Amino acid sequence: MKKIFLITILISAISFAQDSEYQFTKLIDLTPTPVINQGKTGTCWSFSTVSFLESEVKRITGKDIDLSEMYAVRMTYPEKAYNYVYRQGKAQFSEGGLSHDVMNAIAKHGIEPLEVYLGMTPGKESFDHSELEKNLTAQLEKIVKDPKNNLKAGWMNDVQSTLDQYMGKAPEKFNFEGKEYTPKSFADELKINAKDYVTLTSFTHHPAYSKFILEIPDNFSNGSYYNLPLDEYTQVLNDALHNGFTVALDADVSEKTFSGQAGMAIWPSERNEKDYFKVLLPEASVNAEIRQTAFEDYSTTDDHLMHITGMVTDQIGNQYYDVKNSWGTKDLGNGGHIYMSIPYFKMKSIAYTVHKDALPKELKKKLGIN
């Protein structure tokens, strides 16, 4: 098996729905792992980034691996709790997170295969963190409202116990394919080094080519982003895909022109809801000013993370990103993937995470990335 995924060109066009005018042909197919369902959780950040890392393991080692999405979630919740309590409740505490939270968890704790840690207690058939989040939030609120009486030495042990109750206890050592590992030694075996990954964005309220902490609510861990001009931001992604690298994407999916049912995301120049995803519509041009305005008036927000695994074209040559989602496949178009137009990406993406080797040498030098 080659270490770089093969780029597959398909001859025949594939129509995603019988009543749609759109027809798609695969351009780049980086063979993602199957679509799964995050269930009733706000943990798309881990599902998308772990899927991305599974592709990275395949690219780097040639191995197919099914990693635990919930291990990173389990290791990140205590970090969120600590941050919330010591910021006196003036910080974000929710199920949400970002790709760098998975990387932080790997750097500190490692990672585990799915067969070792599912992150779901026996008897459960799907992920549901509604009760877990409710109980954790109540625990933390009790502390911040009366820290003199409730901020005791063992408060974090109580958080850990709640997490174990709902997610199960993650093993400190485990056997996998005849060898014993710790989570950190397993990450080393898979050649996953969190320091090898960078997150790129494109906004004008910070200088181009600067490194800054992006001001979005889920960035509780103050992750840094590299800022690129919009066209370069897009071109780096395109080149990465053509060179066999996938990326973890953070984007706004609240628009009516984003549809899991249709399996598409478009940015049409004219708005007619009856035609969305049925008639091949011309799309609007997007520039840095329009994108920035939408970010600053909250029209574009940090909604959802997914995994870009390739590209497709429509019948007139427009290109779309093939985006693996984590909403399962039932009643969803394109097998649970989203075909996202480049204008939609330019307008509604927040950022993406990629291996640093996907960046051109000149850009790495300009950004100070070794």
Residue 16 forms part of a structural domain: no
Domain assignment present for 264:
yes
Cα–Cα distance for residue pair 311/24, rounded to 1 Å? 10
> Which pLDDT belongs to residue 31?
85
pLDDT, one tens digit per residue, over 19-54 is: 679 999 999 999 889 999 999 999 999 999 999 999
304 is catalytic: yes
Catalytic hit among 104, 219, 227, 325: 325
Residue 2: inside a domain, yes or no?
no
pLDDT in tens, 136-153: 999 999 999 999 888 988
Q: Is 100 a catalytic residue?
A: no
pLDDT confidence of residue 230? 98
Query: In the chain, pLDDT over 70 holds for what percent of residues?
Result: 95
E-only strand ranges, 8-104: 24-29
The 10s digit of each residue's pLDDT in 182-206 is 999 999 999 999 999 999 999 999 9
In a domain, 14, yes or no: no
Q: Has residue 9 been placed in a domain?
A: no
Query: In total, how many domains does the chain have?
Result: 1
157 Cβ contact partners less than 8 Å away, ≥ 6 residues apart = none
Residue 18 falls within a domain, yes or no?
Answer: no
CATH number of the domain to which 180 belongs: 3.90.70.10
Q: What is the pLDDT of residue 222?
A: 96
Based on the residue annotation, tell me whether 150 is a catalytic residue of this protein.
no
Question: What is the rounded average pLDDT for all residues in the chain?
Answer: 93
Out of 44, 227, 334, 337, which one is annotated catalytic? 44
Residue 8 lies in a domain: no
Residue 16 has pLDDT above 60, yes or no: no
Q: What is the pLDDT of residue 123?
A: 86
Cβ atoms 59, 3 nearer than 8 A: yes
CA distances from 274 to 20, 149, 315 (A): 12, 58, 21
pLDDT band at 18 (very low <50, low <70, confident <90, very high): very low
Residue 2 has pLDDT above 60, yes or no: no
Q: Which of 109, 129, 304, 337 is catalytic?
A: 304
pLDDT value of residue 5: 31
Residue 315 lies in a domain: yes
- Determine the pLDDT at residue 19: 61
Q: CB atoms < 10 A from the CB of 316, how many?
A: 7
Supply the range of the domain harboring residue 60.
24-367
* Beta-strand relationship, 224-227 and 264-265: unpaired
